[in-house]
Structure 1
Amino acid sequence: MIPISDRLPTRRFPIMTVLLIVANVVIFGFELLLDMLGLLEPFIYAFGVVPYRVLHQFDALTAFSFFSSMFLHGGFLHLAGNMLYLWIFGNNVEDALGHFRFLIFYFLCGVLASLAQVLASVNSTIPGIGASGAIAGVLGAYLVLFPHARIITLIPLGIFTQLAELPAVIVLGFWFILQLFNGVLALGLPSAGGVAWFAHIGGFVAGWLLVRLFAIGRRQAIRYYHY
């Protein structure tokens, strides 16, 4: 299932969501430039989260990588998929939490997501990059705040596709189960580049738990949407 949009209106312009998307796109453009210069690989290694380095060679740059890694992507599809999810689900979560709370929430979920991936692959020297851990936190928050919101979803059916309007609890529940399934399958396998399943799992659980704390004092905004 691929979410395309939702039916929830927003009362305010989602400035933080838009700024995050712009920042990710601009930095990806910088990555393309580095790639042409042959400098991308050391850049990714320096600013991505490397589990082995976190546990055995922790320093200021390693600490910063928990933040910087959220703005790095491994290709256009990686970026496009993440930004699509951030736009669909981030604008409403930002509207409910408020701009600055949302931004802090986003970064905190991203850090916790990276920690989850580090703990799941302690000896890996592969740098973890991408906004998906932080965005998974946004998905967890969306599930808590708007479980019955209608999500317009593209469903592949062999060589055909079907558009369907499904409740968020179905779309996001299916997404989370898929991450769990693939994460369990990946346990014990040799380290290799690919999807950071436990970053997705950790980010989603963090968002699902933390949104209640960040929503304190925002009950009116939440009631406006919670149907």
Structure 2
Amino acid sequence: MFIPLHDRNNLKHIRLQVVTIGLILANVVIFFLTGPLFVEASTVNADLLGFGYIPALIFGDATLAPGIAVVPEAATHITYAFLHADLYHLGTNMLFLWVFGDNVEDALGHVRFLIFYLACAAAGAVVHGLVVPYSQAPLIGASGAVSGVVAAYFLLHPRVRVWVLVLFRIPLPLPAFIPLALWIAQQFYMLAVDPSADVSWGAHVGGIIAGLLLVLVMRRKGVPLFDRVVVVPKAVRLVDAPPRDLPPPQAGAGPWGTRP
């Protein structure tokens, strides 16, 4: 539906979005180490099975062949979110994280943002598993976690203008609530009409629900929702009293001078 390009939303509590940058770097490095462009197909398949989230392992009685399981099954609720199928899959997820992640990290703080991100990833996996509990196909991708970030941004900064590429070709500056509300609604709609699609709408919805709930309790004290606080630019000086070199107003004087 749309691709985010840029927002004019300065950081207020942190100097640099180190966790957002770190997550992007981690995803890129892991893609180079495990992606199909750089690794033999047999190794890629083993990585997907060993680190991807497979609902049938959690909800069913499926098991992995000896030597394939690399981490405990519970850990795959997190590890799946660092694997991607191709450059487009990686690029779109990381673009969403880059545009929206810095301000959510700013609102939560570094450590809580990392916890938030991983919790949204886990929530995405859980909902995906509930939707297709006996699927043996590994779930991969950061979409669940990134969906939580988008949902949190929607609550925090709905009126900030975001440049988006509508229909993949038309750049427009829109208030964030317009494209984000449409995007969130699309995820729920697609889950309802096509729950078993190749795209895991369940993981998206799980991340969205987690993001909406967690940002309410994890944001810094004093950080408002819905952009209720107007931040005055540093170049603007607020004046509490009229300048002393002006004469005091006289009785009978109107805004344009003394009345006749």
Same fold (TM over 0.5): yes
The structure with the greater share of residues assigned to helix is: 1
Q: Where does structure 1 lack aligned partners over 5 or more consecutive residues?
A: none
Q: Equivalent residue for 2:246?
A: none
Q: Equivalent residue for 1:186?
A: 194
Q: Give identity over the alignment, percent.
A: 37
Q: Distance in 1 between matches of 2:79 and 2:87?
A: 18
Deviation at 1:220, TM superposition (A): 4.6
Does residue 122 of the first structure (1) align with residue 122 of the second (2)?
no
Q: Equivalent residue for 2:11?
A: 10
Does residue 63 of the first structure (1) align with residue 54 of the second (2)?
no
> Cα distance 1:225–1:102, how it changes in 2: closer, same or farther (>3 A)?
farther
Point out the more displaced range, 52-61 or 14-23: 52-61
Tell me the amino acid that sits aligned with residue 140 of structure 1. A
Q: Distance in 2 between matches of 1:39 and 1:226?
A: 51
Structure 1 contact 146–225 (Cα < 8 Å) conserved: no
Q: Distance in 2 between matches of 1:46 and 1:151?
A: 38
The equivalent position to 1:89 in structure 2, one of 100, 110, 128, is 100
Does residue 164 of the first structure (1) align with residue 172 of the second (2)?
yes
Q: Distance in 2 between matches of 1:223 and 1:179?
A: 22
Does residue 199 of the first structure (1) align with residue 200 of the second (2)?
no
Q: Distance in 1 between matches of 2:187 and 2:223?
A: 32
The equivalent position to 2:44 in structure 1, one of 33, 40, 44, is 40
Deviation at 1:223, TM superposition (A): 8.9
Tell me the amino acid that sits aligned with residue 26 of structure 1. V
Structure 2 counterparts to residues 207-218 of structure 1, below 5 A: 207-215=211-219, 217-218=220-221
Does residue 145 of the first structure (1) align with residue 156 of the second (2)?
yes
Matched length: 219
Structure 1 contact 152–166 (Cα < 8 Å) conserved: yes
- Structure whose alpha-carbon radius of gyration is higher: 2
Does residue 219 of the first structure (1) align with residue 222 of the second (2)?
yes
Does residue 80 of the first structure (1) align with residue 91 of the second (2)?
yes
TM-score (ref. length: structure 1): 0.89
Q: Distance in 2 between matches of 1:170 and 1:18?
A: 26
TM-score (ref. length: structure 2): 0.78
Point out the more displaced range, 32-41 or 113-122: 32-41
Structure 1 contact 96–222 (Cα < 8 Å) conserved: no
Structure 1 contact 47–61 (Cα < 8 Å) conserved: no
> Cα distance 1:72–1:119, how it changes in 2: closer, same or farther (>3 A)?
same
Q: Output one character per residue of 1:94-122: Cα deviation in whole Å (capped at 9) or x when no partner.
A: 01110001000110111011100000011
Q: Output one character per residue of 1:68-102: Cα deviation in whole Å (capped at 9) or x when no partner.
A: 11100011100000000000000010011100010
Q: Distance in 1 between matches of 2:229 and 2:206?
A: 25
Tell me the amino acid that sits aligned with residue 17 of structure 1. T
Which has the bigger relative contact order, CA under 8 A and spacing at least 6?
Answer: 1
Q: Distance in 2 between matches of 1:141 and 1:218?
A: 15
Q: Distance in 2 between matches of 1:37 and 1:128?
A: 17
Q: Equivalent residue for 2:31?
A: 28
Does residue 174 of the first structure (1) align with residue 178 of the second (2)?
no
Q: Distance in 1 between matches of 2:193 and 2:54?
A: 21
Deviation at 1:181, TM superposition (A): 1.9
Deviation at 1:37, TM superposition (A): 6.0
> Cα distance 1:223–1:209, how it changes in 2: closer, same or farther (>3 A)?
closer
